[in-house]
Amino acid sequence: MSVDAVLSRISEIRTQIDALRTGTTGTGATATTASSSSAANSTAFADALATATGTTSGTPAATASGVSTATSVDAGAGTIATGSGATGADVVADAKKYLGVPYVFGGTTTSGMDCSGLVQTVFKDLGVSMPRVVPDQAKMGVEVGSLKDAQPGDLIIPKGEGHVVIYVGDGKVLHAPRPGKDVRIVDNWYKDSDIATIRRIVPAQASATPAVSGASGTTDLQTAALLSLMNSGSAA
């Protein structure tokens, strides 16, 4: 798509938006045509806006069984899992639901869970698929440099990768310790020298939501869509 074509398309979309905003309508076949054109342009604008803002337009994708997969994402190595919308605070809040669950080696349910089973279950609750065992979990997300940089929801894996704990903030961690114990929050006993890696799987905080109300908000969204279409036009 050329730059001129992109600019022309944006002009058409803005014209339709202005018409809708002022309540301009036609009659008969003209109205039908205008309605169809408006719908098409609105869809194009929505798609461009979704690309520009990182959101999803239209209806959520569904599997063959009809179950929505829009908020289900896989954790990745070297990248933050943003698709589920979960944050570090959500990780901590969900993990606290399992306080008191007894330690059971290999467990992943409220009947009993081990350290990595707890981590996998918490992220599954939030729409993020995590590997089952600690060495694999230790590769997910992005690395945090040290304990002073850790944020609630980060995973702390000690050297040897035989355990994993969830940092909850204020120098405390939540974990499933060992047989005979239950899921609990305790003071973090690890030092940086004890740690193999600290991993951030989801964003520490929610990203800012683009303004959508008022004239300035509409202008911001139009600009975002324009930039998206301009970028796609340059790449074509």
> What are the φ/ψ torsions at residue 198 (nearest 5 degrees)?
-120, 125
Catalytic hit among 75, 81, 91, 115: 115
Catalytic hit among 48, 155, 175, 202: 175
* Strand pairing category for 128-129 and 73-74: parallel
Residue 69 tokens read as 């997969």
* Strand pairing category for 128-129 and 108-109: unpaired
CA angle 39, 45, 47 (to 5 degrees): 105
The yes-or-no answer on residue 196 being catalytic is no
User: Residue 160: left if φ>0, alpha if ψ -120 to 50, beta else—which one?
Assistant: left
Cβ burial, residue 79 (10 Å; 0-12/13-18/19+): exposed
Query: How many residues belong to the chain?
Result: 236
The yes-or-no answer on residue 185 being catalytic is no
Catalytic hit among 96, 124, 163, 184: 163
Query: Quick one: which of 76, 85, 203 has its CA closest to 130?
Result: 76
Instruction: Name 74's bridge partners.
Output: 129
Quickly tell me which residue has 């954790």 as its tokens: 75
Q: Who contacts 189 (Cβ-Cβ below 8 Å, separation ≥6)?
A: none
The yes-or-no answer on residue 41 being catalytic is no
Q: Indicate which residues carry an active-site annotation.
A: 115, 163, 175
